[in-house]
Structure 1
């Protein structure tokens, strides 16, 4: 199954439903209080059904929902390719208020029974609801790639990412994940209130475009790097993760174990490499 949603090279518009207007009262210390309009990032539930049966609820920012679900199913090991999706549509029996917030997926086959994941996935946690420590453990293969990236290219990427974040520009309230070439060309970027949702959307896009594994791209995330982000990068075959923020101890350990270059605190004049620095050249 392929979605007719080619990636745009120009900054994309804000997806419908991704933002909402609200009244805000700034409280300065040395000026009078004036209420004004503001724009907020939307956080809303997306009910995911599998063959008409409820599977999970994802708390997300509306926009690119099909990619989010595709990436989620891939990263959960339920599908291995977008062609395993027979259909992904809004069910006709959903109430009007729910119509845009329910997606029903029909698969050729499920590679893993998803019953253990029947839970509410909030926007800040990508592995919440796992039933045991053993279920969190990742079973995969090390990432193999000849990708190398000059430091100067990496240092320029945060500014390029910021220029491709329309929802963040309006709200300041979302995370972003972006794929770049080793030359620094933006391939795809997605935003969401959940950092793991943003990455699921990017991976879902890549899967529908037939680009997984992503051994020829690097991943840039707008915040910190946690275990689940590295886990998703391993599943997608991404050889290098760069982040504006810090990595966690488990993220570093997982990157080291599976051959992923992990860069944190990425700035125009500096960066730290925590695992496999050989892919970052002078």
Structure 2
């Protein structure tokens, strides 16, 4: 049985030595096996929920598909517990003939953790993917005030985090023409930050909204290479994180045209690549 949350008993200790017993709620984490055209493709650990979106977004991120039209079916009927009950932990994906070729894609390990999706790639040469949805030119897009409002707008929608304190979140916002406001389009949560992003990307793909130009992807943690790449694969213009980016994430942002923002909290943020998308900034070629 797949569950977004699980209940448990805990002992709470304080500095005085007092111990109290109480009920607690934890984020669910279960394996999801993705079978692609009859072959095992990968196994990832995720928080159950929005699994069709997760599979679709993952395949987009891995450059296996580029649109909803590439998918014939995503079926969860194969996942069974030992007692014969359905557990929804196996996704059988059928693609349109000719969309994907295993030999051209190359070898891939069959396990990715909730902490790191990139560890499922067989070689460093396989990490970088080419997008079919390039972002737009580095023109002014959004005001600083609108950027600063994104983390709070995301936090207000983090129901699973409020319940458990143990999940990441990602949200995509559409920027108004004048750049003064950003409308929340979709938000998803997961124990894996890459899964949360894949769920948002899968939503966009299944809603035929790609490429996601004039949008900002706001994430609850740091900006890694992998998250910048996922943003680029969907044509997302700006990736904003509440924590720091990695050096490789910034390099990729510069190469792909994605504006990478870090430390977006309180009253300030840092723009590490293509700052000209923020009103009031001049583009220095970075």
Shared fold by TM > 0.5?
yes
Q: Give 5+ residue unaligned stretches, structure 1.
A: 1-15
Task: Indicate yes or no: 2:117 matched with 1:121.
Answer: no
Could you tell me which residue of structure 2 aligns to residue 172 of structure 1? 165
Say which SS state the counterpart of residue 116 (structure 1) adopts. Answer: coil
Compare 51-60 and 172-181 and name the one that shifted more: 51-60
Could you tell me which residue of structure 2 aligns to residue 11 of structure 1? none
**TM-score, reference length from structure 2:** 0.88
Compare 90-99 and 234-243 and name the one that shifted more: 90-99
Say which SS state the counterpart of residue 131 (structure 1) adopts. Answer: coil
Alpha-carbon distance between aligned partners in 2 of 1:93 and 1:60, rounded to the nearest angstrom: 15
Task: Indicate yes or no: 2:96 matched with 1:108.
Answer: yes
RMSD: 1.8
Say which SS state the counterpart of residue 272 (structure 2) adopts. Answer: strand
Compare 135-144 and 207-216 and name the one that shifted more: 135-144
1:1-282 maps to which residues of 2 (within 5 A)?
Answer: 17-30=3-16, 32-92=18-78, 94-95=80-81, 96=84, 99-109=87-97, 110-113=99-102, 116-140=107-131, 143-145=135-137, 146=139, 148-182=141-175, 183-282=181-280
What does the per-residue CA deviation read over 1:158-199, in whole Å, with 9 as the maximum and x for residues that have no partner? 111111011001011011110012222111001011111111
Alpha-carbon distance between aligned partners in 1 of 2:173 and 2:135, rounded to the nearest angstrom: 17
Alpha-carbon distance between aligned partners in 2 of 1:88 and 1:129, rounded to the nearest angstrom: 21
8 Å contact from structure 1 (residues 147, 216) kept in 2: no
8 Å contact from structure 2 (residues 79, 90) kept in 1: no
8 Å contact from structure 1 (residues 86, 106) kept in 2: yes
8 Å contact from structure 1 (residues 77, 112) kept in 2: no
Could you tell me which residue of structure 2 aligns to residue 8 of structure 1? none
Say which SS state the counterpart of residue 20 (structure 1) adopts. Answer: strand
8 Å contact from structure 1 (residues 77, 111) kept in 2: no
Aligned residues: 267
Say which SS state the counterpart of residue 48 (structure 2) adopts. Answer: coil
Alpha-carbon distance between aligned partners in 2 of 1:147 and 1:100, rounded to the nearest angstrom: 44
Alpha-carbon distance between aligned partners in 2 of 1:25 and 1:174, rounded to the nearest angstrom: 21
Q: Give 5+ residue unaligned stretches, structure 2.
A: 176-180, 281-286
**TM-score, reference length from structure 1:** 0.89
Say which SS state the counterpart of residue 121 (structure 2) adopts. Answer: coil
What does the per-residue CA deviation read over 1:234-262, in whole Å, with 9 as the maximum and x for residues that have no partner? 11001101100100000001001111111
Say which SS state the counterpart of residue 32 (structure 2) adopts. Answer: strand
Say which SS state the counterpart of residue 118 (structure 2) adopts. Answer: coil
Alpha-carbon distance between aligned partners in 2 of 1:139 and 1:51, rounded to the nearest angstrom: 22
Alpha-carbon distance between aligned partners in 1 of 2:151 and 2:107, rounded to the nearest angstrom: 37
